[in-house]
């Protein structure tokens, strides 16, 4: 199974920035479809951003467009989420996820849009934005 380990969470003030990283291991071949999700207490889990690393295609939730950027962090097995202009409503546990069974761009993006659970998940990293 794919192992995912997040890092970079913390506490910031409104308007601040954070950079999350996700290191993947325990897989063979290429890991193409990776994304970030978040869940706040009492709220449903939502997709934040997804990236097909092979095709270079990404999608973002409307709530984070223009503020967050998803990218590879120096290697195929490392994913980053740059978060700027943070708001209190961004406060949540952020999870890195991947699906090693998804190879195509269309399937990757469609799964994210349809809120289909990915096959592998990290333990999460907490992001807290003070008001």
The C-alpha atoms of residue 20 and residue 29 are separated, in whole angstroms, by 24
Mean pLDDT rounded to a whole number for the chain: 94
β-strand partners of 90: none
Give the rounded percent of residues in the chain with a pLDDT score beyond 90.
Answer: 86
Query: For position 76, what pLDDT does the model report?
Result: 66
Task: Note the pLDDT tens digit of each residue in 71-106.
Answer: 998 766 899 999 999 999 999 999 999 999 999 999
| 30 confidence band (pLDDT: 50, 70, 90) | confident
Backbone Cα Rg of the chain:
14
Calculate mean pLDDT across residues 30-58: 94
Is 70 exceeded by the pLDDT of residue 123?
yes
DSSP letter string over 37-90? EEE-TTS--EEEEEEETTTTEEEE-TTTTTTEEEEE-SSTTEEEEEE-S--GGG
């Amino acid at each position: 199974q794919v192992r995912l380990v997040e890092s970079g969470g913390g506490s910031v003030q409104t308007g601040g920035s954070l950079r999350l990283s996700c290191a993947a291991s325990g897989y063979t071949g290429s890991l193409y479809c990776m994304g970030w999700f978040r869940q706040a207490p009492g709220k449903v889990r939502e997709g934040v951003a997804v990236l097909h690393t092979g095709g270079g295609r990404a999608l973002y939730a409307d709530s984070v467009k223009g503020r967050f950027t998803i990218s590879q962090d120096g290697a195929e097995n490392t994913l980053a989420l740059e978060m700027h202009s943070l708001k209190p409503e961004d406060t949540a546990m952020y999870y890195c996820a991947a699906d090693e069974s998804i190879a195509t761009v269309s399937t990757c993006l469609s799964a994210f849009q349809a809120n289909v659970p990915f096959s592998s998940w990290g333990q999460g990293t907490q992001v807290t934005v003070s008001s």
